[in-house]
Structure 1
Amino acid sequence: MNVLTHLAQFFSPLGHYISYILAYLFETIFFIIFVMVVLVMMIYLFRKYMARLQLRIGPNRVGKFGLLQLIADSLKLVGKETILPKKRDDLPYKVAPVVVFMGLVLAFALLPYGDFFYIGSLTITHSGVSVILLFAAIAIMPVGELLAGVSSSNKYAVMGALRGVAKDVSFEIPMMISVLALVMMASGRTSSPLNLESLVSTQFIPYGIPEVIGLFVFFIAMVARASYSPFDMAESDSELISGHSTEYTGMRFGLFYMGMFGSIFLGSMMVSLLFLGGYNGPFSSDAGFVYLLIKTMVLVLISFTIWLSLPRIRIDKFVNMGWKYLLPISIINLIIAGFLTLGVGVL
């Protein structure tokens, strides 16, 4: 049983086809609400966590414990005047934030979430190649950032977009090689190693234990993709104002802002699923989603600590880190995974 089946049973008196149409509609609405709540709570958690580390209070005025501050900020962004650059390339300029946000939402839709008590499975999409689809969805987001930078007619935005391209090319290859090592290891245990649910179900022990090098490479690559300090080359405020989003105001800027925090949560959830066992645990048929959420939030706090404690890396050292260090390390990890796969008895 899953959410879709429960909804279809609820609407079953209306007929088979109508019940499933309404079930898909409401499942989509619930999923979008979940994503929006996650983004809002991520921003709130970051502000409170940053304030605690810096011996401040953080949001505490609007609502109990400042819980309504993010809603107030969202309303402020929606109500702000949209200022459009005079020499912009109109269509890509307006489409870019939507592309970034849609890539994020599609990636969330492809993740397996495990079970949650009587509701059953919370997973929305079931595909034999969900690993490929997930990374294809993630690859949409840099396209939006590139469109934003090039179409803004601003040299800082263009420079930020070019840095973003250099970042993605440098770190995506080691990241994909580390995932390929997992697929190789899972191929001996399942007939569908490109299915995320199969990758999680085959983790009798988390892949992060035998694949600790791959875990390190993947986590660093996801931190770089999310573009926060020390890897915020594309949005370097002290050099490029705010990079590709320099010429954006109002809710269009808000979409880029939410995309960054969404990338942190998404990356943490992906690390949890691929390397830390995901929703596996005692009584996972009931509390699988809870296990996944706990692991994800621990990684989110680690990511926030990295953001708030490390200085920005120089751009040339940043790119060299991907090509000269992470790429060779990921290849070594792939070779190790091959040996572990051949000697299954080791695992």
Structure 2
Amino acid sequence: MSETRPNRVLPPLVRGLPLVLVPLLLLASNFPGEHQVPPWYWLAGMASAVVFLFGGRWPVPVSLTLSVLAVPMFVADAWGLSSLVPYLGAVGLTEVAMRTHRTASVATAAVGWAAAVLVGLAGGHTAFWRAATVVEAAAVVALPLLLGLYLRAQRDLAATYRARAAEAEARRVDDAARARAGERSALARELHDLVAHHMASIVLRIGVAQHVVADADPRVRGVLDDVHATASGALSDIRRLLVALRDPDLGEVALVDADGVPAEIGAAVERTRAAGFTVAAELDPDLGDLDTIGRLTLLRVVQESLTNAMKHADPSGVVTVTVARRDGGVDVHIANRSRDAESGSGLGLGLVGMAERVALAGGTLDIGAAEGNWHVRAWLPAAKPEEVR
């Protein structure tokens, strides 16, 4: 632990304030014909104000120097406001206690200030050995020290809270990134399955074509043989990739054929009902306008939303599921009366992944609470006629 904080505790204007206040206090203590502040007192007071300027860089030496300069001012027969000038050393002690965690440094500054106070009291014009002297010395030394320690504790506590908030934000960002990466991995596996399916179909059809045109021009057969070999090699590569992409560590989402999406949506609704929830479902079975990725994305939105409903929804409420065509695409809306609707705590990593998938499919997703219900609404665009499978 370094002796002082790297940042400045006092802004420059505050640190330079004694340069203005000390002359004013000394001038206010001059009373013509009665009392004049001696020149040496002016010199010691202004020296203290100048030394205080360097407290941000060397707090302990500055505190000790202020204590030394305070001794003659304590001993002098000061009058009026000028008697406050030596207590700039108390401010120096407070700053040391506030800025450093080294016990030796704080103790050194405290002993220096205590010695200055005691010497001042001993050289004063009142009796030294009395209870009031002990109380005064203890107060003048202890109060600045305790104030500095309190301020240091508050600064440390604030720094701890800032660090924890930064760590929590970093974890949130990291978790969201992992959720998006996981959703991309799941989508990549589905894409590879689809590509493998179509490649296998191409290989099969080329094989059929080779038998159909067995008596055709040798050049035609050569082209078909080359295409067949290329497609077969590509299919083998894709199958090897699928072995790696099907690693359970990359995701737990089951792969579903795009044509089976309507049935899977119905199955998800039935599972929610079986869990004891009342589900009002309005499902359009015709998703012909959606391409393969759009259908699979629609299924994931429904599955994730109903899973969250089973975790957070009030079982006495109704879960509504609507899948219908709208604005040249398909709109899905899931709503439920959630125990977490007001706090918004239902927005977990699964929904982060859902948002990533919807964005990749070119759609929009709106998640939030309204009137005590938790709503998930997604819109997925229809594919061009030549892109629909």
Q: TM-score under structure 2 normalisation?
A: 0.23
- Which protein is bigger by CA-based radius of gyration? 2
Task: Report the structure, 1 or 2, having the larger strand content.
Answer: 2
Task: Report the structure, 1 or 2, having the larger helix content.
Answer: 1
